[in-house]
Amino acid sequence: MKYVIVGYSVAAVNAITAIRESDKTGEITVISNEDQLYSRPLISYYLAGKLKKDKIGFTSKDFEKDMKITVLYGAEAVKIETKSRHVELNNKKKLPYDRLLVCTGGSPIKIPVDGLKDGLKGVFTFTKLADAKELEKYIEKNKLKEAVILGGGLIGMKAAEALLGKKMKFKILDIADRLLANTFDKEASALLEEKLKANGCEFLKETTIKKVIAKAGKIEDLVLSSGKKLKAKLLIMAVGVRPEISLVKGTPITAGRGIIVDSRMETGVPGVFSAGDCAEGLEFLSGKGAVIAIWPTAAKQGKVAGHNMAGVKDVFTGSFAMNSVEILGVPSISFGITNPKEDGYEVLKKSADGKYKKIVIKDNKLVGVILVNCIERAGIYGLLIKEKLDVFGLKKELLTDDFGFLLLPTDFRKHFVTGEGTEV
């Protein structure tokens, strides 16, 4: 059996491990357009100087040898031929496959801005290790102490985390009225904003960049949509990512926002699977297809894909949005539906001593939670969402500081003590 995997991160690693559980001899070839395997969430720690590049991996050093795989580093897949079952590389080489996994991840979103041109020095994205390396060189070469980050979402906050580690000041710009707008509300955002402000950083809300002014090929100033002008020697574009699905265009492989897959992570083309940030799989709460670009989802999808590629039946039961970030000692976690826009939801809140909890309930089921500065019981809340436990009798306890496993119904607890367990 010949397995070909396009993309090499957490989805691929989990797929490889799953394949090897039952197929010890099949030929596995991985195509990676990067020069090493690493954990993307750790690139902020690399830029901050907290971790060396040889310490940001997430497998054993002998993983490739133990799994008996061939990794083509620095290679690019440019075409998939589903009829003849091969993948063509940028060097014209063709790799035949019996099973193909596309886990190409996401690409940074580029927004059109007057004066923002390719090759303009001082403008960076922040989604890959290569981005962090180039940023590090540029900051040191130009002895920069300040920056502007466009985007207050998860990527923007990871960039902020890295710059704080380098003792740099920055301004975050976002069209929204709060940080982490997809999952946070104003109260949760305010706690992070307060910490940023105390450290000489600033968050400019409901604004974006209208024009970039450059001098001698380097960024110099920004003109905002409000008309305000900012000095900017360094700009990090952190607007977000979109699924990298260009490889499947022009093929029978169907894509919406991401590559559409079934519960086995197989596309509409037999033998072709997809997982991770480029895949449009089942969203747990809505029961609809969605791209959920987070590490745990990519890991689960990769494992399910690997099992089915090797002929072992497995099903992806869905996942929900989840964010976890720590800024200036303020840890936060959010799950599920945190800012419902429809009727029928009940919202519980508690704010005290710099801590914030928000619980969202629908039909007596927990569907969303925000925790800031009180994340110790996050796994329990995630479990309640996943298991769809009726929380009618627990509503008074959900916001208490001592809410935990022992307050859950005995029969429910018994299952998770003696059963398969849960992720925390």
Kind and range of the H or E run holding 198 = helix 186-198
Cβ partners under 8 Å of residue 61, min gap 6:
none
In this prediction, the residues of the chain whose per-residue pLDDT falls under 70 are: 406-407, 409-424
Kind and range of the H or E run holding 264 = none
Instruction: Compute how many other C-beta atoms are within 10 angstroms of the C-beta atom of residue 73.
Output: 13
pLDDT of 310 reads 98
pLDDT of 424 reads 37
DSSP character at residue 283? B
pLDDT, tens digit (0-9, with 9 covering 90-100), for 286-303: 999 999 999 999 999 999
383 phi and psi, to 5 degrees? -65, -45
CATH hierarchy code of domain 332-418: 3.30.390
Name the architecture of domain 2-106+242-309: 3-Layer(bba) Sandwich (3.50)
pLDDT, tens digit (0-9, with 9 covering 90-100), for 328-375: 889 999 999 999 999 999 999 999 999 999 999 999 999 999 999 999
pLDDT of 414 reads 56
pLDDT of 67 reads 98
Buried b (16+ CB within 10 A) or exposed e, 196-213: beeeebebbbebbbeebe
- Kindly report, as residue ranges, where domains of CATH 3.50.50.60 are found in the chain: 2-106+242-309, 123-239
CB 27 within 8 A of CB 121: no
pLDDT of 393 reads 86
pLDDT of 416 reads 57
pLDDT of 421 reads 47
Kind and range of the H or E run holding 193 = helix 186-198
- Kindly report, as residue ranges, where domains of CATH 3.30.390 are found in the chain: 332-418
What spatial distance separates the first Cα and last Cα of the chain, rounded to whole Å?
36
pLDDT of 419 reads 47
Name the architecture of domain 123-239: 3-Layer(bba) Sandwich (3.50)
